[in-house]
C-alpha cells in the first residue's frame, strides 16, 4: 500500500505510514450531489384564435340538430331579456299603461326586461326560463334516451310558454309592432327555437329507440 502523503510503500493492513505516520485508514467521502437547478416551467400559452375556432367547430359538430336549436334559442332568449323590448322616441299609448303600473319613473326611450322587472317582478321568470333551458341543454347532452325524452318535453314546455305568444303579438298586434324593440324579437324567436329544438330532439330520440 503506497502512502498518499509521502508515496512510500507500506505493508498491507497497516493503519499509519511507517515512514511519515500519515493515517492510511480508508475514509468514505460522502457523495453529495449538487442540487440541479431546473428552469421554472413556463406558464401555458393561451390558445390562439385558430385553436379557439377549431374547438368551437368541434363542439358544434358534436351537437345534434335539436341541441343546436335549443342552445341557440337559450342564448338568444337570455340576451333578448337585456336588450330593449320597447324602443320608441314617444311612448305614446304605452305611457298611460306604464303610469297605471306605477312606472312613471320609466319615462325614457327604451325599456328592457330589467326595466320591466322593476315594475313587475314576475318578469324575471322569463329570464329564469331561458337559464333553465340552458341548464337542461347542458345535462341532456350526455343523458340516456329516456332522460333526453323527458328533458326534450320540458324544453318544448319552456319554449311554448313565451315564444309563440310573443311572436303572434309582434306579427298581428299593431300597438306592439309600433314600439317593439330588438330584445322582444330576439326573445320571442329564441323561445320558439327552444320549443322547436325540443320537438326535434323528441323525434330523433324516438326514431333511435325504435
pLDDT at position 37: 64
Asked if residue 11 belongs to a domain, the reply is no
To the nearest 10°, the Cα dihedral for 93, 96, 101, 106? 80
Q: Is the pLDDT of residue 140 over 60?
A: yes
Domain range for 91 is: 65-209
The model's pLDDT over 109-131, given as tens digits with 9 standing for 90+, comes to: 678 888 888 888 899 999 999 99
pLDDT at position 102: 45
Which residues are within 8 A (CB) of 34 and not within 5 positions of it... i.e. 6 or more apart? none
Binned at pLDDT 50, 70 and 90, residue 33 comes out as: low
Domain count for the chain: 1
Cell digits of residue 193: 327555437
Asked whether 208 and 145 are in contact (CB, 8 A), the reply is yes
Asked if residue 53 belongs to a domain, the reply is no
Neighbour tally for 46: CB within 10 Å? 7
Count CA atoms closer than 13 A to 44's CA, side-chain side. Answer: 3
Give φ, ψ of 102 to 5 degrees: 75, 30
Asked if residue 133 belongs to a domain, the reply is yes
Neighbour tally for 64: CB within 10 Å? 16
Asked if residue 163 belongs to a domain, the reply is yes
Residue spans of beta strands (DSSP E) within the chain: 84-87, 110-112
Q: Residue 71: is it exposed, middle or buried by C-beta count within 10 angstroms (0-12/13-18/19+)? A: buried
Asked if residue 121 belongs to a domain, the reply is yes
Asked if residue 51 belongs to a domain, the reply is no
Residue spans of beta strands (DSSP E) within 4-67: none
The reply to whether the predicted model has a pTM over 0.75 is no
What mean pLDDT comes out for the span 195-200?
A: 94
CA gap 138, 198 in Å, rounded: 13
Asked if residue 92 belongs to a domain, the reply is yes
Asked whether 17 and 8 are in contact (CB, 8 A), the reply is yes
Asked if residue 72 belongs to a domain, the reply is yes
CA gap 77, 189 in Å, rounded: 8
Amino acid at each position: 500500500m503506497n502512502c498518499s502523503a509521502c508515496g512510500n510503500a507500506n505493508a498491507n493492513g497497516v493503519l499509519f505510514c511507517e515512514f511519515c505516520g500519515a493515517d492510511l485508514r480508508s475514509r468514505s467521502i460522502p457523495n453529495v450531489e449538487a442540487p440541479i437547478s431546473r428552469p421554472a416551467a413556463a406558464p401555458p400559452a393561451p390558445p390562439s384564435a385558430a385553436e379557439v375556432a377549431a374547438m368551437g367547430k368541434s363542439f358544434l359538430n358534436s351537437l345534434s340538430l335539436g341541441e343546436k336549436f335549443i342552445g341557440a334559442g337559450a342564448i338568444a332568449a337570455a340576451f333578448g331579456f337585456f336588450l330593449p323590448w320597447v324602443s320608441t322616441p314617444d311612448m305614446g299609448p304605452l305611457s298611460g299603461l306604464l303610469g297605471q303600473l306605477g312606472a312613471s319613473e320609466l319615462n325614457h326611450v327604451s325599456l328592457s326586461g330589467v326595466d320591466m322587472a322593476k315594475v313587475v317582478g314576475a318578469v324575471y321568470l322569463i329570464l329564469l326560463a331561458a337559464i333553465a333551458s340552458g341548464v337542461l341543454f347542458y345535462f341532456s347532452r350526455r343523458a340516456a334516451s329516456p332522460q333526453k325524452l323527458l328533458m326534450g318535453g320540458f324544453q318544448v314546455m319552456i319554449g311554448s310558454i313565451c315564444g309563440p305568444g310573443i311572436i303572434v303579438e309582434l306579427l298581428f298586434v299593431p300597438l306592439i309592432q309600433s314600439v317593439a324593440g330588438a330584445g322582444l324579437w330576439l326573445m320571442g324567436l329564441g323561445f320558439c327555437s327552444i320549443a322547436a329544438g325540443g320537438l326535434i330532439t323528441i323525434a330523433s330520440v324516438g326514431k333511435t329507440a325504435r
